[in-house]
Amino acid sequence: AQKITQTQPGMFVQEKEAVTLDCTYDTSDPSYGLFWYKQPSSGEMIFLIYQGSYDQQNATEGRYSLNFQKARKSANLVISASQLGDSAMYFCAMREGRRRDDKIIFGKGTRLHILP
């Protein structure tokens, strides 16, 4: 079974609009971390944001915020005021366990296109 599910293969959004990228996860471990990465066409993996399972508040990093709904096992990424440079592939990922050297597994990704 899929541990990380991203149901939107592709999205088209007008520049300056807010974007929500969906991610649901499946784990029975009470300790886990959720990640979002951006991969532009250059191929590099750019870390965007992290949410720990015990974090009380939703994570925010500049224009990125993570809408963490633990009971629903949902960790959607919200990008405010989208820019043309936000066009890229976005991956949701999860690390099960407390250790930072535990492995991370990735969802299939969402390709985001920002329209001028």
d(CA 66, CA 93): 13
Considering only residues 70-99, where is the footprint of another protein by CB under 8 A? 91, 95
Q: Does 57 bind another protein (CB under 8 A)?
A: no
Considering only residues 37-56, where is the footprint of another protein by CB under 8 A? 43-45, 47, 50, 52
Query: Angle 83-89-95 (CA atoms, 0-180°, nearest 5)?
Result: 115
Q: Indicate the burial class of 39 (C-beta count within 10 angstroms; 0-12, 13-18, 19 or more).
A: middle
d(CA 3, CA 94): 8
* Cβ nearer to another protein, comparing 21 with 81: 21
In the list 81, 84, 105, 115, the residue contacting another protein (rule: CB under 8 A) is: 105
* Cβ nearer to another protein, comparing 32 with 86: 32
* Cβ nearer to another protein, comparing 10 with 14: 10
* Cβ nearer to another protein, comparing 62 with 116: 62
Q: Which secondary-structure segment (H or E) carries 46?
A: strand 46-52
Binding site for another protein (CB under 8 A): 33, 35, 43-45, 47, 50, 52, 91, 95, 100-101, 103-109
